[in-house]
Amino acid sequence: MTRKNWICAQLGAREHYAVPRALYANNALSLFLTDSWVRNQSFLSSLRPFRRLADRFHVELSDAPVKSATLHSLILELSLRRTSHPSSWESILARNQWFQAWVSKILYRLQDPDHCFFSYSYTALSCLRICRNNGWPSVLGQIDPGYEEERLVIKEHLRYPSIVSNWRPAPPAYWEDWHQELRYTDHIIVNSQWSHDALVRQGVPPSKLHTIPLVYTSCQQPSGFLTSNYRLSRSFQLLFIGTICLRKGIARLLEAMDILSNYDIFLTLVGPSEIDSLSWSHLSNVRWIGSVPRSTVASLYRSAHAMILPTISDGFALTQLESLAYGCPVIASTHCGAVIRDGINGWILPSIEPVEIAETILRARATIDSLCYPLSAPSSDLVSLSNALANLP
């Protein structure tokens, strides 16, 4: 595939715009299409309706060829709020369809025969059809393991019927469109072996799949955990950060914390919750502080002895890289990106059964001083991402 004339379409700020940033740094980005783009010093950023979009900009793309539909996007969001919740499936489908239609109109007007196209899954079907008709090579960034992940989540909800959750499975149209995306795209990028294997089990040809870890650019200097803090502390502090939901293994983690109720081990849950807080109200060793500003995340990682991620399924789980960057080791399942090396930068859960989670937490507490600092992790960078895109067959 050519290194020039890439068109990148992206709904939202996923991966902090890693793909368009990588292409632009390699002089390969012809056009970046996104729903909202609000420069930090622009007039729009000073208006109240646009303040929540302050992170919808990246300085590395300041001079890049960016085209956005910021005003139309805001109007759509205001309209959706009148009829449904912003995170409901009705809103998600409406948002995805609107974005595809907007991008498609722009693609129709382009005449250059040498374009390559990139977009993320669930927002690309009509665009991929245009690429196929125009003979443009296309790449789909698959953000999760697809329908197989939903099956696992459904099974998890059946396992824990007493936990009240607002999670709902996707409507059939969502998966029907996704299967069409898989058919129309030439290449599919996944971020982990977990996602790769899940897609193969769902019938995706392995020849279409390319595994590239998520890009994470840390502003931190490599740091080591101050183990003296642990020695001075009687308690072992665990941190979970992200959406509190059954997919992330929260129900199993709560069971594990119940098993550990007689130990000086405490869990802090950080993030929005899909489940009723009554699920952990009986546990004195668990607290929930809800969503927090981005500026406070660093202090949370630095005050924890370990971040824990007993996920049922994740496309990668970027919080693993984020945690290690702040010097906080990770206890993780194998159902996500392969970041953790057992006994080196954290601990791998042998299974996600609550008893095994509890035993691994105890092992972490006992062996934390033996980890290798500064903590490190395998990950992709912008150069390797750009090269990987350029070298697709």
- Kindly report the CATH number assigned to the domain that includes residue 343: 3.40.50.2000
Residues whose CB falls within 8 Å of the CB of residue 351, separated by 6 or more in sequence, listed in order: none
Q: Specify the higher pLDDT residue, 148 or 54.
A: 148
pLDDT on residue 42: 56
**Domain at 106, CATH number:** 3.40.50
| Residue type at 172 in one-letter notation | P
218 occurs within a structural domain: no
User: Per-residue pLDDT for 224 more than 70?
Assistant: no
Give residue 33's Cα distance to chain centre: 20
Structure tokens at 303: 């005050």
Burial class (CB in 10 A: 0-12, 13-18, 19+), 294: exposed
pLDDT tens digit string along 175-205? 999 999 999 999 999 999 999 999 999 999 9
Residues 203 and 231 occupy one common structural domain: no
Mean pLDDT, to the nearest integer, of 11-25? 93
pLDDT on residue 227: 44
Mean pLDDT, to the nearest integer, of 258-263? 97
Sign of CA dihedral 145, 147, 153, 156: negative
Residues 186 and 257 occupy one common structural domain: no
Residues whose CB falls within 8 Å of the CB of residue 19, separated by 6 or more in sequence, listed in order: 8, 10, 118, 141, 385, 389
Beta strands in 106-222 (DSSP E): 116-120, 138-141, 187-190, 209-211
CB 210 within 8 A of CB 392: yes
Residues 358 and 385 occupy one common structural domain: no
pLDDT tens digit string along 49-63? 555 666 788 999 999
Residues 176 and 247 occupy one common structural domain: no
pLDDT on residue 391: 83
Residues 338 and 208 occupy one common structural domain: no
CB 6 within 8 A of CB 364: no
Beta strand 116-120 with 209-211 is: unpaired
User: Per-residue pLDDT for 311 more than 70?
Assistant: yes
pLDDT on residue 376: 85
Q: Specify the higher pLDDT residue, 92 or 50.
A: 92
Q: What whole-number distance in Å separates Cα of residue 309 and Cα of residue 240?
A: 7
Residues 88 and 130 occupy one common structural domain: yes
The reply to whether omega before 206 is within 30° of 0 (cis) is no
Residues 184 and 248 occupy one common structural domain: no
User: Per-residue pLDDT for 228 more than 50?
Assistant: no
Range of the domain at 267: 227-370
User: Per-residue pLDDT for 317 more than 60?
Assistant: yes
- Strand order across the 66-68 sheet: 66-68, 29-34, 6-10, 116-120, 138-141, 187-190, 209-211
290 occurs within a structural domain: yes
pLDDT tens digit string along 333-362? 999 999 999 999 999 999 999 999 999 999
CB 30 within 8 A of CB 65: yes
When mean pLDDT is compared over 38-42, 340-344, 381-385, the highest value belongs to 340-344
How many C-beta neighbours within 10 Å does residue 172 have? Answer: 8
DSSP state letters, 163-180 = S-B---PPPHHHHHHHHH
How many C-beta neighbours within 10 Å does residue 368 have? Answer: 18
Residues 166 and 41 occupy one common structural domain: yes
Q: Which of 20-34, 143-157, 247-261, 287-301 has the lowest mean pLDDT?
A: 287-301
pLDDT on residue 299: 93
Residues 143 and 232 occupy one common structural domain: no
Residues 208 and 242 occupy one common structural domain: no
Residues 181 and 287 occupy one common structural domain: no
376 occurs within a structural domain: no
Q: What whole-number distance in Å separates Cα of residue 150 and Cα of residue 169?
A: 7
| pTM for the full predicted model | 0.91
Residues written for the chain: 393
| Residue type at 288 in one-letter notation | W
Residues 180 and 324 occupy one common structural domain: no
SS3 332: strand
pLDDT on residue 216: 81
